[in-house]
Amino acid sequence: MNAESLDGRLLFAIPKKGRLYDKCISLLAGADIKFRRHHRLDVCVALNHNVALVFLPASDIPSFVGKGNVDLGITGHDVILEAQMQDHVTEILRLGFGKCALQVQVPEHGDIKTVDDLAGKRVVTSFEVLSGEYFKGVDQRLGLIGEGEKQGTKIEYVGGSVEAACALGLADGIVDLVESGDTMRAAGLHAIATVLQTEAVLIRSTTPKHPHLSPLVELITKRIAGVIAAEAYVVIQYNIDRDKLPEAKTITPGRRAPTVSPLEENNWVAVSAMVVKKKAAETMDELVRIGAQDIMVFNLDNCRV
């Protein structure tokens, strides 16, 4: 595939591997972006839209979107800040997956108990920029920089196996992403501070490269927002006495407002609303408490919000 075949197409960057890849592929399917990616090729053309998908390392995507010709991208919020591209890209949608925390970690049974204890020592990370900014603030607060022979915290970059740095004598502490915490605990580490909470985000260039593609950008954004909402919400339907409707609305306010329809039975109404999936059981219990009947919950395959 050559550059000419991409002319006039919306370029959409997707992480080519790692913790975000599988979820992104599912998201594209939910947004009805059909494609066939040939083995070992990192660019493919969508079959049903004027879109070319570009598979890149997640850490490179902010730069390609912010300074290159790529129109849309999915990457981590942390990656944008680490690449110092927050002025060049706009986060248009938080995607609700890939959630984790960038945390300061030290040996669980060591002498270092707080960030102040670690200040001035050795820290290994693959997030040099974020770690440097964080410890610069700590060092300034403790007076470890700019005074005589005192020195600030030493930040050293490694590209992988960050969690092994303490055990192998390279660091006194590390800064790394924590999702479940299993790897951290297996390495004998524990977190003493959180630098940043992060998740996957949909981004576009702050300065659009191809204004004529703006309608397509909006279409894809709305479709992806619908897929995310369908995963996070369910539809709840129930019948209730109209006199109890004000209280019912406080329990099921919907994303904007519930749908209320009159029933043939005097003074009864049917209510339909979107509720957070994780709270569906509690919501049903609350509705039973105020006298609602015929309560049903339906999963969403897709929606527009």
Give the residue among 98, 99, 304 at the shortest CA–CA distance from 221: 304
pLDDT at residue 71, rounded to an integer: 95
In the chain, ranges of CATH 3.30.70.120 domains: 233-299
CATH architecture of 3-98+200-209: 3-Layer(aba) Sandwich (3.40)
Give the residue among 199, 200, 231, 177 at the shortest CA–CA distance from 31: 231
pLDDT at residue 4, rounded to an integer: 45
Q: What is the pLDDT averaged over residues 187-207?
A: 95
Percentage of residues of the chain with pLDDT beyond 90:
82
pLDDT at residue 76, rounded to an integer: 95
| Higher per-residue confidence, 148 vs 6 | 6
pLDDT at residue 13, rounded to an integer: 97
Express each pLDDT in 227-272 by its tens digit.
999 999 999 999 999 999 999 999 999 988 999 999 988 899 999 9
pLDDT at residue 178, rounded to an integer: 93
Mean pLDDT of all residues belonging to the chain: 92
Express each pLDDT in 138-177 by its tens digit.
999 998 876 554 578 999 999 888 999 999 999 999 999 9
DSSP collapsed to 3 states, the chain: CCHHHHCCCEEEEEECCCCCHHHHHHHHHHCCCCCCCCCCCCEEECCCCCEEEEEECCCCHHHHHHHCCCCEEEEEHHHHHHCCCCCCEEEEEECCCCCEEEEEEEECCCCCCCHHHHCCCEEEECCHHHHHHHHHHHHHHHCCCCCCCCCCCEEEECCCCHHHCCCCCCCCEEEEEECCCHHHHHCCEEEEEEEEEECEEEEEECCCCCHHHHHHHHHHHHHHHHHHHHHHEEEEEEEEEHHHHHHHHHHCCCCCCCEEEECCCCCEEEEEEEEEHHHHHHHHHHHHHCCCEEEEEEECCCCCC
pLDDT at residue 150, rounded to an integer: 59
Separation CA 167–CA 173 (nearest Å): 10
pLDDT at 62 over 80: yes
CATH classification code of 233-299: 3.30.70.120
Express each pLDDT in 66-111 by its tens digit.
999 999 999 999 999 999 999 999 999 999 999 999 999 999 999 9
Separation CA 1–CA 35 (nearest Å): 14
| Assigned CATH topology for domain 100-198 | D-Maltodextrin-Binding Protein; domain 2 (3.40.190)
Residue 208 binned pLDDT confidence (cut-offs 50, 70, 90):
confident
In the chain, ranges of CATH 3.40.190.10 domains: 3-98+200-209, 100-198
Cβ(260)–Cβ(269) below 8 Å: yes
pLDDT at residue 186, rounded to an integer: 92
Residue 5 binned pLDDT confidence (cut-offs 50, 70, 90):
low
Cβ(71)–Cβ(52) below 8 Å: no
